[in-house]
Structure 1
Amino acid sequence: MNSITTLNGTTATITVRSDIDFDTLSPLRAAADALPAHVTHLLWDLNHTFFMDVAGLHLLFAPTPPDRQGRHTTVTGLRPQPLRLLRLAAEANPATFNLDHLLCDAPATV
């Protein structure tokens, strides 16, 4: 698994260069948890992520720790399969998997 974290003021971008699955979940969570406290916006760049299983749902929809309550998370660069997974999850349980603020550039239909 390869990821790159960049900081720009109060925004952090984590660019993932692998699939998101059980094996990559812990290192990706660790990368997000290691961000400085002043980061208020986390952008997951998934341009190089062609596959995501349920671990991606755990990553993107995990409860926010108390010290990160104000952090806003969005996703960019979703490939067809990860986007389909997110939309299926939202369709099955819209209250848990609310995509309104997560998707910043996803196409309207797949």
Structure 2
Amino acid sequence: MNITITIDGTCARIRPCGEIDFNILPPLRAAVDALPPKVTDVQWDLALTPFMDVAGLHLLFTPATSSGPQRRATVTGLRAQPLSLLLMAADVNPTAFDLCRLLPDVPPADLRPATP
């Protein structure tokens, strides 16, 4: 897997190219851990990620175990399957998988129309 990282001030954009599974989770976590302490916002650009399993949920919703700074994570470029996984996880457990935090353009659950 190729991982491209772009840093602009306090923001970092991480763009993995390939599928996200538990074999890829350690290098992705290492990429976050290697960011300079000044980086407070991490944007995951998943435009080149066609598939993500539960490891992607761990990556996006479980804070890093390192003693580094807490960072706000957002996601962009979601393709159909990763988006479907995120929506399913949020439907099953909206408290644990808060898409409003991860996808700032998603309205809070109480403002979304009910699904038929």
| Counterpart-to-counterpart distance in 2, 1:7 and 1:64 | 19
Percent of aligned pairs sharing the same letter? 57
- Report the TM-score, using the length of structure 2 for normalisation: 0.85
Cα offsets for 1:35-59 (capped at 9, x unmatched)? 1111011000000000000000000
Matched-pair contact (CA < 8 Å) for 2:12–2:42: yes
Matched-pair contact (CA < 8 Å) for 1:90–1:96: yes
Any idea what SS the aligned residue of 2:38 has?
coil
| Counterpart-to-counterpart distance in 1, 2:45 and 2:98 | 19
* Structure with larger Rg: 2
Matched-pair contact (CA < 8 Å) for 2:17–2:48: yes
| Counterpart-to-counterpart distance in 1, 2:105 and 2:82 | 13
Match of 2:38 in 1: 38
**Amino acid across the alignment from 2:25:** L
**Amino acid across the alignment from 1:5:** I
Cα offsets for 1:4-42 (capped at 9, x unmatched)? 111000000001111100111110010011111110110
- Report the TM-score, using the length of structure 1 for normalisation: 0.89
Q: How does 1:1-110 map to 2 (within 5 A)?
A: 1-65=1-65, 67-69=68-70, 71-104=71-104
Matched-pair contact (CA < 8 Å) for 2:45–2:75: yes
* Alignment root-mean-square deviation, CA: 1.6
Aligned residues: 106
Any idea what SS the aligned residue of 2:48 has?
coil
Give ranges in structure 2 of 5+ residues lacking alignment. Answer: 107-111
Cα offsets for 1:72-109 (capped at 9, x unmatched)? 11000000100000010011011110000211467x9x
